[in-house]
Structures are given as C-alpha cells and as structure tokens.
Amino acid sequence: MTRAPRPARVAILAFPEATASVVYGMYDLFASAGRDWGIVTEGRPGPTLMEPRVVARSAGAFVAGNGVTIAAEAALDDGAAPDVACVPEVAIPPGAPIEGRFTAEIDWLRRCYAAGATLATACSGAILLAEAGLLDGEEATTHWAYCDTLARRYPKIKLRPQRALVVSGAGQRLVMAGGGTSWLDLALYLVARHAGIEAAMQTARINLIDWHDVGQQPFARLARSRQVEDAAIARCQTWIAEHYHEPAPVAAMVRLSGLPERSFKRRFRQATGMGPLEYVHTLRLEEAKQLLESGDAPIEAIANEVGYEDAGFFGRLFRRSVSLTPAQYRKRFGAMRRALQTGGSTGAAR
C-alpha cells in the first residue's frame, strides 16, 4: 500500500504588528487545501495537504495591531524547522524604524532558511527578509506604499514594485506577495508548489479567488503626497498640486522656487525622490485615474483635462505607469466604484 505523502508543515509567524485577518486567512486557506474539496464534492473531508500553525516568540495569546487577539500555538523554537515559514504584513508606517524591533523573528527566519525552508511574505512582511539580509542581490516585491522605503534602506535589492508575486533566491525559496489581498496569490502558489496545481485550483474554486494577473500597479497611488522639509520645494509642491494641468509646469516651478534650474532639479529629486517632470506626470495620471473611475468622459477629453494635448502619448504613459490602458482601467475600476456606490453587482456571475 502506497503511503500518502506527508503534509507540508507551514508556520505562520505572528507578532503584535500583524493583523489577524492575514494570519488566520492564511491559516484557513492552507487548512482548506485538499480537505474542503472533498467536503463539497463527496460529503467527507479530503486529505490533509498542508498543516498550518501560528507561531510567535512565545506560545499563547496576545493582542495584535488591529485589536484582535491572536493565539500562537507554538514558540519559535518549538519543534523542527517548517517546510514553509510565512510572514504576514508588518503593520507599521512606511519608513518607521525597525532596528532591534524584530530581532527574534529575524533570527528565526534566518535559521529556517538555512534549514531549507521556503520563506514567504505578504505585503510589508518583506521588510523582515530585507532586514535579515536575505534579499541582497535578489528580486523582491512588497506593498506599493513600502516600495520607496525598501529601495532606500536596502539598495542591493532588485525591487519589482509592479509585480504582485515574486519568486527568487536559491532554490526559489523566497516568495513575496505585494499589497492587500495578494496574500491569496501567495497562499495559492504555495499550495500548488507543495500539494500540486490541482489542489491549488480546487482551493481557488471553493473560495472564489481570482489571481491578481495585472499585478499591483493599477491599485497603487502614484503621487506621493508627503510634504518635504525643503521650504522652496514644499512651496512648489503646493503650487503644482493645483496647477499640474498647465503648460510648462516645470519651468513655472523653477521660477517659483527662485533657484537656478540645475539646483532646483537637484533639490527637488533629493527632497521627493522624483525628478520634477516625473512628479508632474504622477499627479496628472493620478487625477486621470479618478476621472476614469468616476465619469464617462472620452479618454481624449480626460487627457486634455489633465494637461496632455496628445492623447496617444497620454495612453502610452498611462499604460507604462499603471499596467493597464485607460480603457482597461475604466472598465475594471469604474465598475467597482459604481457597484460600491449603488450596492449593485459589477457584472454577471461567472
């Protein structure tokens, strides 16, 4: 008689800065693999394919960042290294200091990786892998709001902010999902890898999960609203927020700053992380996204309204920055906005 393969052991790392929805969402999805398909198709549980458990610095209950109690089943050093170690998001503001804050968790991740485990992170959880030095020279992704912080703090990382899922490292054992619900992609990928593609497809069907095939860039807020400390540049930021649609906006900001053009461009990039023209484009595209979502004006009219005389150039720039054409963006997010406003359906069941 052939013995069934051992279920994959999955440790889900929890800490006060995590949110219970991701911790237990991962837990439920891994536990569902194999088991729930049997329940809905044959009336009895199918085989256990993944064995999740929640681990933390010490076993027991604690209150997470969103006020929900999480109960860790085991301490970090209890038992053998898992096959997969999952890190949920780190719910701290982008740029907040983390030195010395997650020492025990980072040491545990290093030990798991050295023992052959796959490390998987959701959202801003990639920060812990970066702090551990495991992402140096590797491709990585994280929530779009944390990409600037990751790139600035860890310049050796090959950041891929537009992608919702990145697999890298020796043996492809570093797996990172982008922001929000892309942790579902992460969990499905891990089920496929450790329990088979059919098990992952069954899990997706039961839970009505759609793959984030367009990445996370369509969901990102392109413009950075943080006001800088450089007074001359901050004055220009305030002005351009209302005048981004005007012709020759960069030249106007140079005049407003009172600086030589070369000095202005250098200080603007140093203060904002963008060149002034790139900054103008991001403001225009962000406004275009709002117009596409909320109305039905022709795309050419929207291009003109935000400052582009050439609708073709606008379309190419939008596609490069957002990963969707303006028409695709309107179809996807306009329908979502209308459904949220009316409480209706975004389309027929499929």
Digit-coded pLDDT (tens) for 229-280: 788 998 998 899 889 999 999 999 999 999 999 999 999 988 887 899 999 9
How crowded is residue 42: how many other Cβ atoms within 10 Å of its Cβ? 9
Rounded Cα distance, 330 and 324, in Å: 9
Domain containing 104 equals 8-219
Predicted pLDDT at 203 = 87
Query: 336 and 188 in one domain?
Result: no
Report the relative pairing of strands 8-13 and 84-87 from DSSP bridges.
parallel
Rounded Cα distance, 129 and 110, in Å: 9
Query: 116 and 187 in one domain?
Result: yes
Rounded Cα distance, 77 and 273, in Å: 41
Query: 190 and 272 in one domain?
Result: no
Residue 261 lies inside a defined structural domain of this protein: yes
Name the 3-class secondary structure at 52.
strand
Rounded Cα distance, 279 and 275, in Å: 6
Query: 187 and 102 in one domain?
Result: yes
Residue 300 lies inside a defined structural domain of this protein: yes
Query: 269 and 207 in one domain?
Result: no
Name beta bridge partners: 8: 50
Predicted pLDDT at 223 = 53
Tokens 């023209």: give the residue.
277
User: What's the pLDDT tens digit per position in 193-203?
Assistant: 898 888 888 88
Residue 224 lies inside a defined structural domain of this protein: no
Query: 165 and 122 in one domain?
Result: yes
Rounded Cα distance, 63 and 19, in Å: 9
Query: 287 and 179 in one domain?
Result: no
Query: 237 and 200 in one domain?
Result: no
Give the CATH number, domain containing residue 84.
3.40.50.880
Residue 1 lies inside a defined structural domain of this protein: no
**Which pair of structure tokens corresponds to residue 190?**
């891990």
Q: Which residues of the chain have pLDDT under 50?
A: 1-2, 216, 219, 344-350
Predicted pLDDT at 3 = 52
Query: 23 and 116 in one domain?
Result: yes
Query: 206 and 286 in one domain?
Result: no
Predicted pLDDT at 294 = 83
Name the 3-class secondary structure at 87.
strand
DSSP string, 110-150: HHHHHTT-EEEE-GGGHHHHHHTTTTTTSEE---GGGHHHH
Query: 249 and 100 in one domain?
Result: no
For 26, residues 6+ apart whose C-beta sits below 8 A from its C-beta are: 10, 12, 52, 86, 88, 122, 183, 187
Query: 194 and 127 in one domain?
Result: yes
Into how many domains does the chain fold? 2
- Kindly report whether the global pTM for this prediction surpasses the value 0.95: no
Tokens 């006020």: give the residue.
67
Give the CATH number, domain containing residue 282.
1.10.10.60
Predicted pLDDT at 108 = 96
